[in-house]
Structure 1
Amino acid sequence: MNKLLKFLTPPIGAAIFGYGVGLFYDLKPLFVGGSLAFVTLLYCILLTRNPSKPQEKGIFKNVMMKLPVVIVLSVIVWFAAGHFGFPIWWQIEFVAFTFVGLIFFVVLDLKTMQPEKGAARINMRLLGTYGLASVLFITITAQLPQFDPQVEIAKLEKPPVKLSGLAGPEVIAAGRRVFEDNKCFNCHKVFWEGNSDRGPNLGTKQVGLFNEDYLKEQVLDPRIIQSPGFEDPKSIKAMPTYYGDDLSEDELNALVSYLKTMRDPTNVPVEGKLGEQWTWWDDPKIIEEGKVVFEGKEPATEGLNCAVCHGTDGIPIMTGAFDFRNSEGVDSEKFPADERSDKKLKDWPDALWYKRVTQGVPATPMAAWGTMFPHLYLWKAIIYERTFHDPLDQRAAKVAIPPIPTEEEIKRWKDDGLFMDPLL
């Protein structure tokens, strides 16, 4: 019993420590604790094996035996760090230290040194070991981005943003500068850029769909409405509340102009933290808000009433109106063959839903609603429309999270005219 206790104590201790680390850094405590416990248990099992007869290895054989293991570990560490949203330089640093481990274990397995012949020889070797470790640490960390006081001073000395005489792309560029200077990328991704551990990905959340007053409120008083998925105490306190004092009116307006560019006409908005995200298709709150829009009861979309043609209960009232209850329904024949989708309603991609609602159907009462109403509410109406043939409470699994758009894709959206800027 005592042996079993000694055997299990280190893994249990590692599990408790890992769980605490996971809680502190908000990195899936059970996963972190379980991983550390497993590695420790494996280590304990290896220690119980009868040691083989010591055999000295030459330096080449020593390295070649360990190198494949380190390469495999490096690949695992790289992708694991990427999965948890660590910045690219952290991933590089983690991999670099796996190779430091290679050097460490190679040194341990070098041929046995001669017995020390005096205190001076002992001290020399101790200092040499310390020196080697120091050189390794300094050499590796020197390759990583360094803090440059002059760069930081230059940022502080930049003239404040002034919007007088600026328009369009210049204002957006000024807003991005405000975003960068205030280190917003440290907590927020913008599509593929930045980090999203403590705040949502503003690109895939599509904050550009929200109106300017809402965006300003979120910057100046972020505690009023907490982003879904970030309600834990640590995330709530992560967003500073001092921007009302730090940002001038011009800087705030430029920042909002930059935030308004964060939209995606090909995918539905995504909420939550990386690893625990969901799309609006699976959001009960958005479905309820979409029902209000669909039935013409949303004040922000006065004059829009989808139920007039499509029916409050999904049974079309207007002749020719699309029947959202029919999952096998096909695209309108009013479109030319080369513009018509051959997909059935149940397989429509987000982009097709969005395009049909915002750009309408020619020669029908289905107008281009995107030229009349905010697209935020049109997306919500689309979410509700799907529930007529795909009710939320009957879905076996959540809708897959769409991939994060690339820079090239976003440029193509603009070139193809998929954005309808004036009415977003």
Structure 2
Amino acid sequence: MGDQRSFVKHVIKKGIIGIVVGIFLVGLARALDFPPVFQVMFFTYAMLGTAVFILLDAPSLQPMGGMKALVALLGFYVVLSGVYIGGASFWPQYDPEDEKGKIEKLLKAKRAATEQGKAEELLTRTKALAEKADAIMQRLQSVGGVAMASVPVGADSKRPSGTLPAATGDLVALGKEQWELQECYNCHKLSGQGGKKRGPEMDNIGSLMQPEELRQKILDPRSWMAEGFEKEYDKKKMPDKYKELMEDKEIDALVAYLSTLKNPSVNTPKPIKKK
């Protein structure tokens, strides 16, 4: 009887300690913003630990042997397995799709903000380019109007194919703006700035090609090839899109600007006619 009373006291004492430890773990988990399911798990682990310590003080069982011992051992493992399997079934199971959904939810706001920022930036750039294009068109129209005014009444106002208007200062300036607007600098280097890998340097192109040849190259990139750029020519690095993107006046302006580039100190590759 004395051993039983002592064991009951140990159960009560260690049970109280286990509950206190479990409450402490739950409070700590809550303070650290752990989900409720983890708080329950921590409390359960504290109770399991308490049960183990209580069993250490339990009175020894009477020795068993034979079939009785085998049945008791199997029964113990069945109960223990049932507790573990049953307990595990109550815990939330790992689901990859569920975890992906949680991650998606966390990143959705950031991704939306990023996409929105990119969209706003693209809209701003598009608006700026549109305004710049409108300004260029207005200036081109003013230059074209002056040229048209000089044509005698009754004369054919349409200039012959292959000829270009005089490279006036305004037209050259507009051509330089076309160089920037069409982003020619992405492939061609000029005055030490811009790209160089996909296209030749252009500083002396005006000395190597006539205006009508420059116009032909812009409208048909396959018509001419820069010496030493055979691979780029074969890979069609220069896009065949400017005849759709640019109007005749814009092409005239760009040709007028390129015709003024006559810097012999720069080794601009020799143009080779292909068509």
**TM bracket, shorter-chain basis:** 0.3 to 0.5
Taking structure 2 as the reference length, what is the TM-score of the superposition? Answer: 0.41
Q: Which of the pair is proportionally richer in helix?
A: 2
Larger Rg, first or second structure (1 or 2): 2
Taking structure 1 as the reference length, what is the TM-score of the superposition? Answer: 0.29
